[in-house]
Amino acid sequence: MYKILLCMRYLRTRYIALASIISVMLGVATMIVVNSVMAGFSTEMRSRIHGFLADVVMESRTMDGIPDSEKQMDLIRNAVGPYVAAMTATVEVPAMVTYNDPVTGETFTQPIQLIGIDPAGKADVSPLKKSLASYQPEMEDGVEVRSPLRAIDEPVSFELTEHAKKHRKMVKQQEMLYLQPASATTPPSPFELPGQSATGDNTEPPPPTFDAVADVAPAEIDATATEDDATPTVPTFGPSPMDGIAGQQEPVDPTAPFPAKLFVGDQITSFQARDPETGIVRKVDMVSEGDDIIITTISSKTPPEPISFSATVVDKFRSGMSEYDSQLVMMNIDELQKNRGMIVNGVDAITSVQIRLNDYDDADIVVKKLRAAFPPNAVTVSTWEAKQGVLLSAVEVETAILNVLLFLIIAVAGFGILAIFFMIVVEKTRDIGILKSLGASSNGVMSIFLSYGFGLGVVGSAAGVAIGLLFVHYINEIEDLLSAITGRKVFDEAVYYFPEIPTQVSPWMVFWVAMGSIGIAALASVLPARRASRLHPVRALRND
């Protein structure tokens, strides 16, 4: 009984014990918060990567692809049919995208990864619908400024929304007004461009925008053309990114989209800019749904040749992964195959097949069977985790390093407990001598200090767990408070692509952090406890 009484008394009355408890508490709370946030980020990232990629991907080793998509998918069904829930063929090639800034008219060109997809098939193997802007409300500073443009039950397709059609019609009307020859009798237009005077005596007009070149007014269509004639080519006027596209054609209706239609990554045609008046960082879009851009890629000939074609932006997608949103453009696979010359005698070619499984736990079995069914010199087969192995392993290594560094905080607390206990043993030499002279055994004295260290660990760990879990629960409210105090957004959605700080608390993580802290505190008290147990009562009283 005396062991428990003394242990409890030391815990209650000594302020130096409070310092040890606080050090253990802060270490435990920090580890819980950091691990929960890292687990939240990792889970969200894995979810978004997996959401874009299918469970298993079979890829051609060349950009020329493998022939006959239906035949390849039949072979997959024969090899692993019972495991497959859905699959779709795709064509993936490097490309360049060219578009104009609608304000300055400046031309931008940047590299992209172009993926030809069947929208319905891609939606079957991945949650594509969740990434498309038209299915999601548009938010600004946490406030919904636009409701979804498509119903959530509407199937994914390359059809323009009504909002995009209206935008395209307005742009084309402006272009047709610009392309019409100016005359003195022409009344002033609300779309009058800089350099045009009200009398029609115009100065040299500025270079036309890309969209103005991409379409032709009805007056420009050859009146002698018949229905049997080919669709008239689009004339060009002055310097334009359209120059050099031989045989570029478009529908007679200038408001109709091009046959090639695109889902464009959100970061490809937009940038972040700070409002000089409010100081708020907002996204600026240079291309909207319904606008036309130019795609440049290579043909499937040997040797490859550059090809260019115009395409209409149907929608934008935001996966939340900068690697995808700043590089990927998806288009209808049939038009990409046609432009690249991948359809020969009615037989198409594809570069990959994406497969969704009934149970991802069977992924290794499926990969082995597919590798045995297809020649290794023609295709590669891998899971989505293997394709993104470098990125996922980097996150795991970062988490492990953080855990080691944070655990050192608790280790420092342990060394603090060790030093404090040695001081207590020296200070309590007389008490130890009296206890032993009254009949306390060496093991009994040792157990007092071991229990004391164990108690410090339990109290500190319990307080750390409570504070850590409380901090994780209210982390976004704390972030809002810090943002209000500092005047700057601590967790900016525009940077991290999350509406709020993601967290995921693992009960096992909390358990092992708490047990590890208690163990360190108990181990730190072993050496001082042994020293106290070895004190001779007579010498202890005489020295005191």
CA dist 319 and 53 (Å) reads 11
What sections of 190-283 are H helices per DSSP? 210-214
DSSP string covering 37-73, please? HHHHHHHHHHHHHHHHS-SEEEEESSTT-EE-HHHHH
CA dist 268 and 253 (Å) reads 28
Domain residue ranges of the chain, discontinuous segments joined by +: 2-48+390-543, 56-160+262-387, 162-256
CA dist 255 and 166 (Å) reads 9
CA dist 341 and 332 (Å) reads 14
pLDDT score, position 77:
92
**Which amino acid, one-letter code, is at 183?**
S
pLDDT score, position 541:
56
pLDDT score, position 511:
92
pLDDT score, position 411:
80
Question: pTM of the prediction?
Answer: 0.68
Token pair in block for residue 521: 């505190």
pLDDT score, position 2:
53
pLDDT score, position 181:
59
pLDDT score, position 22:
83
**Which amino acid, one-letter code, is at 155?**
P
CA dist 396 and 390 (Å) reads 10
Name the region of 54 (left: φ>0; alpha: ψ -120 to 50; beta: rest).
beta
Q: Which residues are paired to 453 by β-bridges? A: none
pLDDT 10s digit of each residue in the chain, 544 long?
A: 555 665 556 555 556 667 778 888 888 898 899 888 888 888 877 777 777 788 899 999 888 889 999 999 999 999 998 999 999 999 999 999 999 877 777 888 899 999 999 999 998 888 888 888 888 887 776 677 778 888 888 888 999 988 888 988 888 888 777 766 554 444 444 334 444 444 444 444 444 443 433 343 333 334 344 444 433 333 333 334 444 454 555 556 777 888 999 999 888 888 777 767 766 667 788 888 989 999 999 988 878 889 999 999 999 988 877 778 888 999 999 999 999 989 888 899 999 999 999 998 899 999 999 999 898 888 999 988 888 767 777 778 888 888 888 788 778 877 877 877 777 766 666 666 666 666 666 666 677 777 777 888 888 899 999 999 999 998 888 888 887 887 777 776 656 666 678 888 889 989 998 998 888 888 887 877 777 666 655 565 555 5
Question: How distant, in Å, are the alpha carbons of 411, 413, 455 from that of 16?
Answer: 18, 13, 14
Apex CA 138: angle with CA 132 and CA 141, to 5°?
135
Sort strands 281-285 and 270-274 into parallel, antiparallel or unpaired.
antiparallel
CA dist 469 and 484 (Å) reads 23
Of 503, 526, 516, nearest in space to 407 by CA:
516
CA dist 14 and 224 (Å) reads 102
pLDDT score, position 46:
79
pLDDT score, position 131:
85
CA dist 442 and 454 (Å) reads 18
